[in-house]
Amino acid sequence: MNKPKPRLTRTALHGQEERVKRIFRDQIAEAAGLLEVFLSSIVLIGLLLSIVPLLQWMPGLIVDGNDVEVHVFLERALDIVIGIEFIKMLAKHSPGSVLEVLLYAIARHMIVGHEDALQNLVSVIAIAMIFIIRRFFFVPSFGQKLPGGEPAPDIASLYESDNTEETV
């Protein structure tokens, strides 16, 4: 006998459509993750190459360390530090790592920039706000977990220090 063919209902079609969308989203996210790792490796190679001129300037700083050479040396060194923090930000995917990059960038601006007192005050207020945000406004929905589900290393250490203060 002829069996009637099962018809796909709208809900079944919608479920399959959602599954296909989810698969595509996962593949796009995976490709974006690979591009992010590739970009991080390019930045890391660039940072490693930029350390070479920094090392070459060091003997000149010891022999004849004038203000201009020290200033350029500090600019380059702090740029490398900010680049390293940028790579960590790409790897961690946590708000804490973003705040660290901002913190280093503002600190670099204050250290090597020749700004007036008002701009230095604004930089100090910005740094204070970063610490306030980090301390009081981090909530679990703000992305304190790594993509795998475990807590971000910078957040886990923050909570461990909070727990030790309470038990003391």
Res 121: pLDDT: 92
* pLDDT (tens digit per residue) in 26-59: 999 899 888 988 988 998 999 999 888 888 888 8
Res 154: pLDDT: 56
Exposure on the CB side of residue 27, measured as CA atoms within 13 A: 6
Using CA atoms, how far residue 8 sits from 14, 15, 19, 22, 51, in Å, is 10, 11, 15, 20, 63
Res 66: pLDDT: 76
Res 7: pLDDT: 62
* pLDDT (tens digit per residue) in 4-22: 665 666 676 677 788 888 8
Distance CA 106, CA 113 (A): 10
Two tokens at 91? 């790897």
Two tokens at 7? 């018809």
Comparing 79 with 70, the larger pLDDT belongs to 79
Average pLDDT of the segment spanning 64-78 = 81
Res 73: pLDDT: 85
**pTM of the entire structure?**
0.62
| Mean pLDDT, all residues of the chain | 78
Residue 78 has pLDDT above 80, yes or no: yes
Residue 167 has pLDDT above 50, yes or no: no
- Amino acid type, 82: I
Distance CA 155, CA 100 (A): 12
For 126, residues 6+ apart whose C-beta sits below 8 A from its C-beta are 102, 106
Average pLDDT of the segment spanning 117-133 = 90
Buried b (16+ CB within 10 A) or exposed e, 17-55: eeeeeeeeeeeeeeeeeeeeeeebeeeeeebeeeeeeee
